[in-house]
Chains A and B, each alone.
Chain A
C-alpha cells in the first residue's frame, strides 16, 4: 500500500472463486476495483480483460507466475472428495502449504485462508482436522486463517444449500440436541470480512472468526430457514449428539463428515475485523420472508374474495387485495392452504375467536368484490335449488355453533 497517496489498484488472487463464498468475494473485489487472478477449474463470469484465469485444481502444482505481484491471496478452494483419514496426507492440506509457499515467494502482502468453525471442535471431522492443520501451517506474519461459521444468504449454496435440499424432502429433521451453536452469517458479510482482513491484517492473539452475533439451536435455525425459504413447516427432532456421532461412523464420504460435523458443532467466539457489521438472521431471511408474505397474501386474497362469490376470483381482484395489504405492511393471516380447512379456519376465527382483523379483511374483500363489476354480479346472483340452500343453512348453523363455542372458551 502506498500510505501517502492514492491506494494502488489491488491485485487479488482467489481460489474457489466459483464457490458459494468465492463468487460473492469475487464480485465484491471487482466492485471495489481490484484486479483479480482466479485459480480454478473453470473460468468464473465477471472477469475483465486485465484479469487472469489460470487452470488449477487442488493437487496441481501452483502456477507461480500467476501469483507474481499479488497483494492478496484468498484461498477458498476445498476438495471434498480428496480428504484422507490422515489429515497430514490430505491434498487439501498440501494445497494450503503450496499456496502459502508461493505467496511467500511472491512477497504477497496477505494470505487469507478460509477456515471453518469445525476447526474449533474438540472431536474433529476429517474436514475439521484438515482445517485445523491448515491453521497451524499459516504461522507467518502475513498469513491468516479465518474461522467461518454457518454461511447463509446469497445463492444459498454450501452447507446451507444442502440443508435446504434435505428439508425440501422431509417434514422432520434430526437435529443435534445441546447448546445453540449455529451462528448464521450472510455470505456477503463473509466476503466483506475477508477483504477487511486482507486490507488491515489481524493483530489479536486468537484467530479472526466470521460468525453471526446470534446463536441458534440447530433445530430452530433449520425450521426458520424452511419456513422462510421453502414456505414449509419442518419439525426438528432432537437427537442426542452421541447418537449422531454413532450414526456418522457408519456413513461414508462427505455425508459422514457433515453428520459428524453437526454432532460436534461448537459455538465459536465471533471475532470480526473492526468496522465489519454482520446482519442478523432476521435480516438474512428478510427477502425470503417478504416473498413468502407476498405469496401468502395472494393466497389469502384468493381465499377471501373467493368466499364471497363462491367462484375462483379474477386475478386482478386478488392482486388488488394482496397489494393493498402489503402496502400497509400487514402480515398474512396464516390460513391453511386446503380450501376446506381454510374456510373452517376463517369461520372459526371470525365467529368463535371474534378476531376483528379477520372480520376487517373479509369486509375489505367484500368491498373489493363489490367494486369489481363482473364479480359484483355474482354477489347478487341467487343460486336456486336444494344444495345452495342447504349450504347456506349449514353455514348459518356453523356460525351459530362457533359463536356459542367461542363464547364458552372466551
Chain B
C-alpha cells in the first residue's frame, strides 16, 4: 500500500506564499495554500485616467477625517485608495494584531501586499546581504526564477549595476519628462554625484512593458496608486491561476489561520472554518501574522522579538526649469528614479531614495505638504505640478526601533525609530539636495515629513535566520515548520525587500527535504 504524498500547507497567498508554492509544486510536492482573504482583489471597473482617489468621494465628514488621520498626510497616499481600504480593513482584527505608535497595515487578499505595491524589484547585493547566511551568488538562481515569473523591466544602472545574471529584462519604462531630464543631467555629471555619495538610476521594476498573456503592458494611464487595472504591475495573485496547472495544488481562500499547534508528528492548523492537519507547514502570511503564529507554535524562545522596518521620510523637490513645461498627461505613476545615498560618514547604512512624478497624485495629498492655506496650496500645486518631484527616502532597518510581543490576546506591536534617525534624515536630505542642486533640482523648505513607524510596510526580521530560523528557513527547535516571508531577514537594507523575500522563499523551498 502506498501512501499519498503529504500535502504541504502554505499559509498565505502573498508574494512569499505564491513563490513558495511555485517552488514546491515544481519539485512535485502537493501544496495547499490557505488564504485569509477571500481571493484576489483587482481594481476592476476603475475608470480610465481617473486619479487615485475614491470615485465615490470621501464619504461623510467624520469618515473623511478618520480616513485622513489614518492614511495621511504623513503616509503614502496609496493607503487612501479604495483598493487599499478593501484589502486592509480587517487585517489587524483577523490576525489579532494590536499596535502602538505603529502604522499597522496588511493585506487580506490573494496576492497580499503586491495588490498595491509599486513594483520595485531591487535585487540585494553582497553588501545588502552581509548579515544573511548566504551571499548574492546563492540567491542568483532564485532571483532569476522569481524575476522571470514576475517580468522585470529596466536596465543596468548606477543603482543596480548588476541585475541578476541570466534574467532577461524587459525594456525600461518610459520616464516622466521631469524624471527624464534629471536622469539625463545626472549622466552628464556622474562623477560629481559619485563623489558626493549619490548614485541615481531608473529602478528595476516588476512592471510589464510588453504584453504577456492576460497581462498587458503599462499604458501610462497614471492610476497605478490604486493598483494596475492592466495587470502591468505584477500581483502575486496573477500566479494563482498558473499554480492551478499543477496537479497537486489547491487554493483555499477564506481560511485565515487562527492557531498552529504541534500534534504528534505533525501540526494542527486551526482556521476559520476547518482544522487542518499537516506534517509540513510553511508560514508566509506576512511578517506580522506569521510572527504571531510562529511565536505561539514554538515551545522555546522569547515572546518579545525585534521588528525591523524601513523608516521613511517624504520631501518635496522642485525643478524650476520645468515650471513652464506643458502638462504631462500620461506617465507611470510609481517611482521614476532611485537614489542610493552613501551615509557611511554618518556611521549608517546606505539610504535609498525614490523620486516620483506628480502624475496620479491627488491634489490634496500634495497640498497637504505645502506650508500655505488650503486654497493657496491647491493653486500652488496646479502651477507647480510639472516641476514638483516628490521624494521618499528609506533607511535601513537599523534605524527602526520596534518590537512585537506575543500576549494572550495576540501580537502586540510597539513601534519606534532609533534616536539616530533625525540626524540621519538631516544628513540624507542634505546630501541629496546638495547633489541635485547642481542639476537644477531644489529642496522645498518645510516639505519634509517623517512617516510614522511602519508606514513603509517593510516589516521583517522577527524570526531572523541564524537564530530563530536556520538558513533554510526552518523554525529552530521545531520539526516541519518553515517561515518564508520577511520574518527571516536578519537585517533590513534600505532597498525595497519584496523581491528578496520572494527569492529567499524560492531558495528555501527548493532546499526543503521532501519525502521520497
A392: which B residues are within 8 A, CB to CB?
376, 379-380, 383
A370: which B residues are within 8 A, CB to CB?
51, 53, 362-364
Given the complex of chains A and B, what is the CA–CA distance between A324 and B64 in angstroms?
10
Given the complex of chains A and B, what is the CA–CA distance between A120 and B379 in angstroms?
65
Contact with B along A376-409 (1 / 0, CB 8 A): 1001111100001101100110110011000000
Q: What distance in Å separates the Cβ of A323 from its nearest Cβ neighbour in chain B?
A: 9
Q: Are B60 and A379 in contact, CB atoms less than 8 angstroms apart? A: no
- Given the interface contacts A392-B376, A395-B372, A395-B373, does A363 sit within 8 Å of B364 by beta carbon? yes
Asked if B94 CB lies within 8 Å of chain A CBs, one says no
Q: Are B56 and A380 in contact, CB atoms less than 8 angstroms apart? A: no
Q: What distance in Å separates the Cβ of A180 from its nearest Cβ neighbour in chain B?
A: 38
Q: Among A325, A330, A372, A395, point to the contact of B376 (Cβ < 8 A).
A: A395
Contact with B along A227-250 (1 / 0, CB 8 A): 000000000000000000000000
Given the complex of chains A and B, what is the CA–CA distance between A49 and B53 in angstroms?
64
Q: Are A328 and B61 in contact, CB atoms less than 8 angstroms apart? A: yes
Q: Are A371 and B55 in contact, CB atoms less than 8 angstroms apart? A: yes
Q: Are B64 and A367 in contact, CB atoms less than 8 angstroms apart? A: yes
Q: What distance in Å separates the Cβ of A346 from its nearest Cβ neighbour in chain B?
A: 7
Q: Are A362 and B383 in contact, CB atoms less than 8 angstroms apart? A: no
Q: Are B375 and A346 in contact, CB atoms less than 8 angstroms apart? A: yes
- Given the interface contacts A328-B61, A367-B53, A382-B327, does A396 sit within 8 Å of B362 by beta carbon? no
- Given the interface contacts A367-B53, A371-B53, A376-B51, does A362 sit within 8 Å of B61 by beta carbon? no
Q: Among A327, A346, A372, point to the contact of B373 (Cβ < 8 A).
A: A346
Q: What distance in Å separates the Cβ of A395 from its nearest Cβ neighbour in chain B?
A: 4
B56: which A residues are within 8 A, CB to CB?
371
A351: which B residues are within 8 A, CB to CB?
372-373
Contact with B along A150-192 (1 / 0, CB 8 A): 0000000000000000000000000000000000000000000
Given the complex of chains A and B, what is the CA–CA distance between A372 and B54 in angstroms?
10
> For residues 421 through 444 of chain B, which have their beta carbon under 8 Å from a beta carbon of chain A?
none
Q: Are B61 and A320 in contact, CB atoms less than 8 angstroms apart? A: no
Given the complex of chains A and B, what is the CA–CA distance between A371 and B378 in angstroms?
15
Q: How many residues of A contact B (CB 8 A)?
A: 43
Q: Are B380 and A324 in contact, CB atoms less than 8 angstroms apart? A: no
Q: Among B60, B65, B327, B383, point to the contact of A327 (Cβ < 8 A).
A: B60
Asked if A126 CB lies within 8 Å of chain B CBs, one says no
A346: which B residues are within 8 A, CB to CB?
373, 375
Most chain B CB inside 10 Å of its own CB: which residue of A346, A350, A366, A376: A366
Q: Are A395 and B60 in contact, CB atoms less than 8 angstroms apart? A: no
Asked if A359 CB lies within 8 Å of chain B CBs, one says yes
A359: which B residues are within 8 A, CB to CB?
374
Q: What distance in Å separates the Cβ of B220 from its nearest Cβ neighbour in chain A?
A: 17
Given the complex of chains A and B, what is the CA–CA distance between A324 and B57 in angstroms?
12
Given the complex of chains A and B, what is the CA–CA distance between A246 and B295 in angstroms?
92
Q: How many residues of B contact A (CB 8 A)?
A: 32
A368: which B residues are within 8 A, CB to CB?
57-58
Given the complex of chains A and B, what is the CA–CA distance between A362 and B363 in angstroms?
13
> For residues 43 through 68 of chain B, which have their beta carbon under 8 Å from a beta carbon of chain A?
51, 53-58, 60-62, 64-65, 68
- Given the interface contacts A366-B374, A381-B382, A382-B383, does A328 sit within 8 Å of B62 by beta carbon? yes
Closest A residue to B64 by beta carbon equals A364
- Given the interface contacts A325-B61, A370-B53, A371-B54, does A307 sit within 8 Å of B382 by beta carbon? no
Asked if A360 CB lies within 8 Å of chain B CBs, one says yes
Closest B residue to A350 by beta carbon equals B373
Q: Are B60 and A362 in contact, CB atoms less than 8 angstroms apart? A: no
Asked if A11 CB lies within 8 Å of chain B CBs, one says no
Q: Are A363 and B362 in contact, CB atoms less than 8 angstroms apart? A: no
Contact with A along B381-397 (1 / 0, CB 8 A): 11101000000000000
Asked if B282 CB lies within 8 Å of chain A CBs, one says no
B61: which A residues are within 8 A, CB to CB?
324-325, 327-328, 330, 360-361, 364
Given the complex of chains A and B, what is the CA–CA distance between A307 and B374 in angstroms?
9
Given the complex of chains A and B, what is the CA–CA distance between A227 and B210 in angstroms?
67
Q: Are B375 and A308 in contact, CB atoms less than 8 angstroms apart? A: yes
Q: Are B58 and A364 in contact, CB atoms less than 8 angstroms apart? A: yes
Q: Are B372 and A396 in contact, CB atoms less than 8 angstroms apart? A: yes
Q: What distance in Å separates the Cβ of B240 from its nearest Cβ neighbour in chain A?
A: 33
Q: Are A367 and B58 in contact, CB atoms less than 8 angstroms apart? A: yes
Closest B residue to A351 by beta carbon equals B373
Given the complex of chains A and B, what is the CA–CA distance between A328 and B60 in angstroms?
8
Q: Are B374 and A395 in contact, CB atoms less than 8 angstroms apart? A: no
Q: What distance in Å separates the Cβ of A385 from its nearest Cβ neighbour in chain B?
A: 11
Contact with A along B327-368 (1 / 0, CB 8 A): 100000000000000000000000000000000001110011
Contact with B along A344-364 (1 / 0, CB 8 A): 001100110000000111111
A365: which B residues are within 8 A, CB to CB?
374
A381: which B residues are within 8 A, CB to CB?
382
Q: What distance in Å separates the Cβ of B320 from its nearest Cβ neighbour in chain A?
A: 13
Q: Are B378 and A366 in contact, CB atoms less than 8 angstroms apart? A: yes
Given the complex of chains A and B, what is the CA–CA distance between A391 and B371 in angstroms?
17
Q: Are A380 and B376 in contact, CB atoms less than 8 angstroms apart? A: no
A403: which B residues are within 8 A, CB to CB?
371
Q: What distance in Å separates the Cβ of B376 from its nearest Cβ neighbour in chain A?
A: 4
Instruction: Given contacts A367-B53, A371-B57, list 18 more A-B pairs with CB under 8 A.
Output: A308-B374, A324-B60, A327-B60, A347-B373, A362-B375, A365-B374, A366-B364, A366-B374, A367-B58, A370-B51, A370-B53, A371-B54, A379-B381, A380-B327, A380-B363, A395-B379, A399-B372, A403-B371
Interface residues of A (CB under 8 A from B): 307-308, 310, 320, 324-325, 327-328, 330, 343, 346-347, 350-351, 359-368, 370-372, 376, 379-383, 388-389, 391-392, 395-396, 398-399, 402-403
* 10 A-B pairs in the complex with CB atoms less than 8 angstroms apart: A324-B61, A325-B61, A360-B61, A362-B375, A363-B64, A364-B65, A366-B364, A366-B378, A371-B57, A389-B383
